[in-house]
Structure 1
Amino acid sequence: MMEDNNSHGFHAGQSGLVVRVPEAEPAVRAWRERLDPSARAGVPAHVTVLFPFLDADRIDQDVHDTLGEVFGRHPSFEVRFERCGRFPGLLYLVPDPDTPFRDLTEAVVERWPDTPPYGGKYGDAVPHLTVAQDLDEAAVERAEADLLSRLPVGTRVSAVDLVVHDGTRWRLRASFALR
């Protein structure tokens, strides 16, 4: 999720909006701790709603209130992770359904159009739970086989979290309830 392409660096003040998936931790924790820079920087298993979001110095009470209103218009929902997917160099769990995540992302971008997903680098922001990055094909095969033996995982999504990097780790700044 939350890396830039310069050696997976993070910088103080970066923020993102994520849905934590604690139910996935037993299946993905070992892989993420070794192979996902965001895990090593304090981000739990999650599906990104929007990264990057606003710089922390732009997030005031009005932004908090507006995020609460935006997310409060969306119903909570059930999601399952039953299979893996791949992007070049990245292994992830596929959320089903993914439409509610897409709806959340679209709602935030509609309100803050200067915050396209992943800075506009990719055309379609595909909802996913990153497990591993920068793997060779053999490692991807091993990780995927292990993950498939641990799936499915299901959860109820009832909130979106605002996380901010403090220069060392990602920290929870606020949580916004879905209706």
Structure 2
Amino acid sequence: MTDDSTSRFQAGQTGLIVRVPEAESAVRAWRERLDPSARAGVPAHVTVLFPFLAESRMGSQVCPALADLLGKHRAFDLRFERCGRFPGVLYLAPEPDTQLRRLTEVVAERWPEAPPYGGKFTEIVPHLTIADGQDDAVLDEVEVDLLGQLPFMSRVSSVDLMAYDGAKWRERASFALCE
């Protein structure tokens, strides 16, 4: 895998995430080594919607609309107790994932020009990526290490808007869920 963590990102891209700070101690070293988004400044997270609107299209009404839309949803707890895989990818599976799926659906319904995964996949699969673009032997090694550090819980009380400036992902806004 290339060391260029920015090769898959474009300046002006945005995304919506829920941070999972409780995962950092278990996943930080692996993510820094094996997940380009970590090297580009994205904390441990579950994606709500990526890509979202290009930053150049984020007029003055987008953030208030996000705050209103997301503020209607209750904060919730997640449990991380198992790993899952996509081809070349190892992730932690949040459970239950119903509320995460719902957040993705409502944002995508409001902004249909920003479908989940850019429209590449039809099924929404909430996940916390640990390793991306790796062979099975690497994924097996990481999974064995992570299983010894599970389970853990995380409280989701906000959704963050992240933007890529050409070098790093940076938080642009945070939207509270209702308690």
TM-score by structure 1 length? 0.95
2:100 counterpart residue number: 101
How much identity, in percent, do the aligned residues show?
A: 63
C-alpha deviation, 1:8, in angstroms: 4.1
Q: Deviations over 1:55-113 (max 9, x none)?
A: 00111221000000110010000001000000001000000010010000001011001
Helix, strand or coil: the match of 2:148?
helix
2:55 counterpart residue number: 56
1:177 counterpart residue number: 176
Unaligned runs of 5+ in 2: 1-5
Letter in 2 for 1:52: P
Give the Cα separation in 2 of the matches to 1:167 and 1:85: 30
Unaligned runs of 5+ in 1: 1-6
Give the Cα separation in 2 of the matches to 1:111 and 1:89: 32
2:86 counterpart residue number: 87
Letter in 2 for 1:76: A
CA RMSD of superposed structures (Å):
0.9
2:22 counterpart residue number: 23
Letter in 1 for 2:161: L
C-alpha deviation, 1:153, in angstroms: 1.6
Helix, strand or coil: the match of 2:8?
coil
Helix, strand or coil: the match of 2:79?
strand
Q: Deviations over 1:121-171 (max 9, x none)?
A: 011020000000111111111100000001112111000000000010000
1:138 counterpart residue number: 137
Aligned length: 173
2:69 counterpart residue number: 70
TM-score by structure 2 length? 0.95
Moved over 4 A (4+): none
Give the Cα separation in 2 of the matches to 1:49 and 1:115: 12
Give the Cα separation in 2 of the matches to 1:107 and 1:61: 20
